[in-house]
Chains A and B, each alone.
Chain A
C-alpha cells in the first residue's frame, strides 16, 4: 500500500502542477457564433451527402429524402437566425459577442474522465470480460478523485463485481 501511495502521490503532484497552470486559463467561447456556423455547415453537409446516403425510387411521390431535407432547411434557417442576430448585435448595436467562459482545467479534467471511459470500453471489448473493465473503471475513478480510503476501494470494487454478477447471472447478459 505504501508503494501505491507514493505512486499515487507522485501522480497527484503532477496533476496539481498541471492544474495550477490551467486553473487561471479561460477561453471565451463565442457560443452563438459557433452554434450558427456549426449547424449551418451541418445542414449543408447533410444536404450534400444526402443523394449518396439516401436511395430513392423515381416512382415515389414523397421519397425518403423529403423529411430529412425539410429538417435541414429548418435547421439552417434557425442557424441563420442565430447568426444574423449575433452579427446584428456586434456590427449594428456595437455590443460584444455573446460568449461563455470555458475553463481549461475543467476541460482537461473532462478529458481525463473520458480517457477512463474509453479505456474501460477498450478493455471490455478486447477481453470480452466486462468484470475486468469494471475493476479498471472503479480503480480509475478512485484515483481520479484522489481517494485514499481503503474502505472506498473495497466497497467500489465489490459493487463493480456485483453489477457484473447481476447482469451476467441475473439478467443472462453474457459478457
Chain B
C-alpha cells in the first residue's frame, strides 16, 4: 500500500484535479439543493464531460458531485421542508423544525459538519478496506461472482420499491436489455432485430438519460405550477452551535458513520436506507428522545453523517468487484472503464497509483465540500428558487447533448427518448427503475459468470453451492429475501391497520 501513496499524491496534487473537485462539489451542491433534481440525474448529465478527461480528474469531478449531493439535499430539506434528494428526507425531520425555531444557519452547519465527518470517515474506510476486499475478491471464481451479482440484484429488487416481486421483474428487464447486442462469449448477435447499430448493445449512459433524466422532465406534467420561494430573512441567525450540542452530536455522528459504511458496502443499498436506519438508531439511543421531530441536533447529525458515509463505502464493491454499491456509482463505472480501469485486484496493484490517488482524493472532496459549504451555503440556498421554466429546457438540452456525444449520432437520442417513455409507463405501474439500472450494469458480468461456471461444471448447477463463498452468498441471499419479505409484510399490515 505504502509504495503507492507517494506516486498517488503526486498524481493527485495538481491544480487541474483540485479545480475539478471544486467544480464537482459546487455543481453537486447546487443540483441536490433543487427539489426534484437528484444526484443520479446530475452525474448522468455531467458524465459526457468526463469522456475527454483522464481517470483522476474525471473521477474527482464525479465524486465531487456525488459527495456534495449528499449534503446539498439537506439545504432545501432544512430551508423549505422539501428534501432536495430522497436521502435528505430524514434530515428534514429535525432540520426544518430547527430552522422554524429561528436557527436555520445552525441547522445547516450541523448538517454540513456531520456530512463532512461521514464523508471523510467513509473515504478512509475505502482507503483501508478497499485493498483488503480486493484481495478476497481475487479468490472468487466464476460461480462465486455469479452469486455476488445475484445477491446484489436481490437486495436492490427488494429495497427499491413497494413490491419485491416488481423489483425482481424490473431487474430481469435490465438484465434482458444487457443481452441486446453481441453475445459476450460467442459474438453472435442477439435481439438486434436487424438493426446494425444494436450489434454493440445499448450504451448504459444513453439508457440512463432516458430512464432517470428525461422521465423527470415528463414528470413535470404531474407538478402543479408555482415555485418554491425562499424567505432570505430565515438565514439571519448567528449559526452558533453550543458546546453541549457539539457533545451531543459526537455519538450519533460516529455511530451513523459506521452504519453508513456498513449499509453502503452492501451492493444495491444506498443513502436513503442508511439515513433512515441511523436516524431511528439515534432516536432509540438518545437521552432526549422527545426532541426528535422538533429540531434535534442529534437527529440531523445522524441522518447527514449516515448518508455521506455511504459515499466511499459504495465504491468498495464497485472498485473491487465491479458491483456498484448504489445507482449513482453504477454510472461512474463507465467513467472508470473508459479510461481502461477495470475493477478488481489488478486495479489496486498494476494501477495502484491511480487508484490510491482517487481514494485519497475522496478525502479532499469531503474537505472541499466542508469549505464550500461554510462559505457558499447562502448561494446554494438561493438556487432552491430557480424557476422550472428555465431549469427544464436546460436539463433537456444537457440530456440530448449528452446522449448525442456518446457515439456522435442522433440514433442514441432516439433511444434515450424511447427509454423515457418506457420509464414513464413503468412509473404508472409502480415499477422501480433502479433495479433496471443495476440489471443493465451487472448483466454482462452475471451472464458471463453464469455461463462460464456451467461450462466448467459441464452444465451441473451444483457448482453454485460448491465453495464456502458460494454457500455464504446463498445464505446471505436467502436471509435477505426472508428479511425483506418480513418487512414488506409488516409494512402492508401497518397500511391495512391505518
Chain A residues in the interface with B (C-beta under 8 A): 29, 31, 34-35, 38-39, 46, 53-57, 60-64, 66-68, 70-72, 74-75, 78-79, 81-82, 100, 102, 106-107, 109-110, 112-114, 116-118, 120-121, 124-125, 130, 133-134, 137-138, 140-142, 145-147, 152, 155-156, 159-160, 163-164, 167, 171-175
Q: Is the CB of A137 within 8 A of B185?
A: no
Q: Is B222 an interface residue (CB 8 A)?
A: yes
Some 10 contacts from A to B, beta carbons below 8 A apart, are A35-B429, A61-B454, A62-B455, A72-B172, A75-B169, A121-B410, A134-B400, A146-B225, A155-B390, A156-B389
Q: Is the CB of B401 within 8 A of A156?
A: no
Which stretch, B78-86, B358-366, B414-422, touches the partner chain A?
Answer: B414-422
Q: Which residues, 388 to 419 on B, are CB-close (under 8 Å) to A?
A: 388-390, 392-394, 396-398, 400-401, 404-405, 408, 410, 413-414, 417
Residues from chain B with Cβ under 8 Å of A174 in the complex: 408
By a CB distance below 8 angstroms, the chain B residues around A60 are 186
Query: What distance in Å separates the Cβ of B102 from its nearest Cβ neighbour in chain A?
Result: 33
Q: Is the interface of B mostly helix, strand, loop or mixed?
A: helix
Other A-B contacts than A121-B410, A156-B394, A171-B51, 9 sampled, CB-CB below 8 A, are A55-B188, A57-B186, A107-B221, A109-B221, A110-B221, A117-B396, A137-B400, A145-B392, A155-B390
> How far, in angstroms, from A74 to B51 measured CA to CA in the complex?
37
Q: Are B193 and A35 in contact (CB under 8 A)?
A: no
A61, A63, A72, A100: the one within 8 Å of B428 (CB): A100
Q: Which residues of B contact A100 (CB under 8 A)?
A: 428, 430
Given contact pairs A100-B428, A117-B420, A39 touches B405 in the complex (Cβ within 8 A): no
In the complex, what's the smallest C-beta–C-beta distance from A149 to chain B, in angstroms?
8
> Which of A54, A78, A163 contacts B394 (CB under 8 A)?
A163
Q: A74 contacts which of B168, B192, B396, B451 (Cβ < 8 Å)?
A: B168
Query: Chain A residues with Cβ under 8 A from B203's Cβ?
Result: none
B431 near A35: Cβ-Cβ < 8 Å: yes
Instruction: Indicate which residue in B163, B193, B454, B458 contacts A66 across the interface (CB closer than 8 Å).
Output: B454
- A159 & B176 in contact (Cβ 8 Å cutoff): no
- Chain B nearest CB: distance from A135 CB in Å? 10
6 A-B pairs with least C-beta separation = A109-B221, A110-B221, A75-B172, A64-B183, A125-B410, A141-B393
B52 at the interface (CB under 8 A from A): yes
Q: Does B175 contact A (CB under 8 A)?
A: yes
Q: Are A142 and B393 in contact (CB under 8 A)?
A: yes
> Are B393 and A138 interface neighbours, CB within 8 A?
yes
B447 is an interface residue with CB less than 8 A from chain A = yes
Determine the distance from Cα of A21 to Cα of B111 in the docked complex, in whole angstroms.
46
B window 149-176: CB within 8 A of A: 163, 165-166, 168-169, 172-173, 175-176
| A67, A78, A81: the one within 8 Å of B447 (CB) | A67
Enumerate chain B residues within 8 angstroms of A114, measured Cβ to Cβ: 218, 420-421
Minimum distance in angstroms from A164 CB to a CB of chain B = 7
Are A35 and B424 in contact (CB-based, < 8 A)? no
| Given A113-B220, A171-B52, A71:B172 Cβ within 8 A | yes
Total A-B residue contacts, Cβ distance less than 8 Å: 186
- Interface size (B, Cβ < 8 Å)? 65
Q: Which residue of B lies closest to A157 (CB)?
A: B393
CA distance A79 to B168 in the complex (A): 10
C-alpha spacing A75/B430, complex, angstroms: 16
Indicate if the CB atoms of B192 and A112 lie closer than 8 Å: no
Whether A53 touches B394, Cβ cut-off 8 Å, given contacts A79-B169, A110-B221, is no
The residues in B between 415 and 465 inclusive whose CB is less than 8 angstroms from any CB of A are: 417, 420-421, 424, 428-431, 446-447, 450-451, 454-455, 458-459
Q: How far is the CA of A60 from the CA of B458 in the complex (A)?
A: 11
A173 touches B404 (CB 8 A): yes
CB-nearest residue of chain B to A131: B397
CA of A39 to CA of B429, assembled, Å: 11
Does any Cβ of A come within 8 Å of B190's Cβ? yes
Whole-angstrom distance between the alpha carbons of A54 and B454 in the complex? 19
Please report the C-alpha to C-alpha distance between residue A67 and residue B400 in the assembled complex, in whole angstroms: 33
Pick the residue among A145, A156, A171 that contacts B48 (CB under 8 A): A171
Residues from chain A with Cβ under 8 Å of B450 in the complex: 62, 66-67, 70
A117 touching B217 in the complex, CB below 8 Å, given contacts A31-B430, A68-B176? yes
The listed residue with most A CB atoms (<10 A of its CB), out of B168, B169, B193, B430, is B169
Measured CB to CB, the closest approach of chain B to A42, in angstroms, equals 8
What distance in Å separates the Cβ of B260 from its nearest Cβ neighbour in chain A?
31
- How far does the alpha carbon of A81 sit from the alpha carbon of B404 in the complex, in Å? 40
Contacts A82-B166, A173-B408; is A137 near B455 (CB within 8 Å)?
A: no
The residues of B that contact A71 with a CB separation of less than 8 Å are 172, 175-176, 179
Whether A137 and B451, one on each chain, are in contact in the complex, defined by CB atoms closer than 8 angstroms, is no
Give min CB distance, B296 to chain A, whole Å: 36
Which residues of A sit under 8 angstroms from B176, Cβ to Cβ? Answer: 46, 68, 71-72, 75
When chains A and B are docked, how far (Å) is the Cα of A106 from the Cα of B428? 12
A55 to B166, CA, bound (A): 30
Pick the residue among A62, A107, A112, A142 that contacts B454 (CB under 8 A): A62
> Do A160 and B393 have beta carbons less than 8 Å apart?
yes
Docked complex Cα distance between A110 and B421 (Å): 10
> Most chain-B CB neighbours within 10 Å: which of A31, A54, A62, A171?
A62
Determine the residue in chain A with the shortest Cβ distance to B447: A67
Chain B min CB distance to A140 (Å):
8
Contact residue among B189, B193, B424 (Cβ-Cβ distance under 8 Å from A55): B189
The docked-state distance in angstroms from the alpha carbon of A117 to that of B400 is: 9
